[in-house]
Amino acid sequence: MRLLSNDEVEAVLDVKDCIEAMEDAYRELGERRGASGVRSEILTPTARDDGLYSLLTMAGVAPKLGVGAVRINSDILTWPRTSDGSKRVKIPAAPGGRYVGLVLLFSVETGEPLAIYPDGVIQQMRVAATCGLAAQYLARKDARAVGLLGTGWQARGQAAAIAAVRPIERIRCYSPDRARCQAFASEMTERLGIDVVAASAREAIEGADVVMCATSSMHPVLSAEWIKPGMHISSLKRLELDESVAAKADIVVTHVREAASHIVRSAGADLARDTEIEKAALSKDLKQDELPDLADLVLKHTPGRRSESDVTLFLNYTGLGYQFAATGHVLWQRVKDRGIGRELDTDWFTSEVPS
């Protein structure tokens, strides 16, 4: 049993490998050889009056890749009012001001636990790999310019993913926080070896072949008027899209059509419920359960981009436990024979008695 840190996960994971594994995994999912479980969230009061406790679990199994994964988040959530409205914010309330998100990886052949690691880096990677895979099918082959809205944790992964699948020469990035935007541009220029420059939202989109939205904004950052023929657009959050963006797209693909989800709220856990219901209604307007999905693309059940002028849109809104099996497989291949991480006795995590 291996215990891995975010740093160790980051050091060995390559987005290209993850995109490849994700392609395999979505093919398996589309043909029902891979399986994704129901996403389960429990919300209850916690010590803070302005917060709730959330226990979230999701799981998936990819037999071809030899692994099953369970992701667990144990969070203190708040919904502070901002000028944007009300925003869901995780509070790092664990000792040392830390967050609690874990992935447990299991062997499909023996059932044994293979590894436990935090979900921070791998969460960025699974979102990035999913968008990278979609871009491989939907973005123009000669895409060179990227407009990136958002410069946070997810935006890093997005930039790396698109650079891995297309001959990207420059990225224009935008964030309302100018200093953060500049810092992101410098860091990513060095990391990716391509030109990353800070810009306004509008400038970022102008002339872009690929537009990636990776913000935490509660109101639209991408206006339909800015969209030009041939663009590929991806989005991680419904609220960041102007409602008319989807109408401009010739092809809209969601990462998964059906994702079973179950939420239980205990008494007293109604905080921010209205905001969420509102948001859920907003998400439904895109009718994601009727759209082709990533498995359809990989299996060629849907054609993907048909011409240089098609506008394509990829929606990557609901996390799947299954994606943690795909990325977990890549991670395990990288670390298992290389002595990376803390080796703990597997017997501590297994049992002589059945249950």
Which residues 4-63 are close enough to bind its own copies by CB under 8 A?
Answer: 5-6, 31-38, 40-47, 53, 55, 57, 59-61, 63
- Packed helices 120-138 and 321-335: angle between N→C axes, nearest 10 degrees: 110
| Residue (of 2, 3, 6) closest to 120 by Cα position | 6
**How far is residue 34's CA from residue 283's CA, in Å, rounded to a whole number?**
26
Q: Residues 93 to 112: which contact its own copies by CB under 8 A?
A: 93-96, 98-102, 104, 106-112
Contact 274, 215 (CB under 8 A): no
**Shortest gap between Cβ of 231 and its own copies (angstroms)?**
29
Q: Which residues of 135-162 are buried (b: 16+ CB within 10 A; e: fewer)?
A: bbbbbbeebebbbbbbbeebbbbbbbbb
Choose one: 67-75, 128-136, 308-316, 330-338; the region binding its own copies (CB under 8 A). Answer: 67-75
Q: Residues 111 to 150: which contact its own copies by CB under 8 A?
A: 111-113, 116, 118-121, 123-124
**Shortest gap between Cβ of 113 and its own copies (angstroms)?**
6
Pick the closer one to its own copies by CB: 302 or 349.
349
| Residue (of 322, 259, 314, 327) closest to 120 by Cα position | 327
177: left (phi over 0), alpha (psi -120 to 50) or beta: beta
**Shortest gap between Cβ of 254 and its own copies (angstroms)?**
19
Choose one: 1-9, 158-166, 187-195, 287-295; the region binding its own copies (CB under 8 A). Answer: 1-9
Pick the closer one to its own copies by CB: 93 or 197.
93
Q: Does the protein bind its own copies through residue 216 (CB under 8 A)? A: no
- The phi and psi torsions of 152 (rounded to 5 degrees) equal -95, -155
- Which of 11, 247, 264, 280 binds its own copies (CB under 8 A)? It is 264
> What does the per-residue mask of binding to its own copies show for 70-89, with x meaning CB under 8 A?
x-xxxxx-------------
Torsion of CA 6, 8, 10, 12, to 10 degrees: -150
Pick the closer one to its own copies by CB: 67 or 311.
67
Pick the closer one to its own copies by CB: 72 or 197.
72
Token duo for residue 347: 């017997």
**Shortest gap between Cβ of 200 and its own copies (angstroms)?**
27
**How far is residue 238's CA from residue 220's CA, in Å, rounded to a whole number?**
9
Q: Under rule CB under 8 A, how many of the chain's residues touch its own copies? A: 80
| Residue (of 7, 1, 84, 79) closest to 43 by Cα position | 79
Burial class (CB in 10 A: 0-12, 13-18, 19+), 194: middle
**Shortest gap between Cβ of 305 and its own copies (angstroms)?**
29
Q: Does the protein bind its own copies through residue 317 (CB under 8 A)? A: no
**Shortest gap between Cβ of 216 and its own copies (angstroms)?**
11
DSSP tag of 249: -
**How far is residue 178's CA from residue 192's CA, in Å, rounded to a whole number?**
21
Radius of gyration of the chain (CA): 20
- Which of 11, 247, 260, 282 binds its own copies (CB under 8 A)? It is 260
**Shortest gap between Cβ of 41 and its own copies (angstroms)?**
7
> What does the per-residue mask of binding to its own copies show for 157-196, with x meaning CB under 8 A?
----------------------------------------
Q: What angle do CA 188, 193, 196 make, to 5 degrees?
A: 45
Q: Does the protein bind its own copies through residue 337 (CB under 8 A)? A: no
Q: Does the protein bind its own copies through residue 315 (CB under 8 A)? A: no
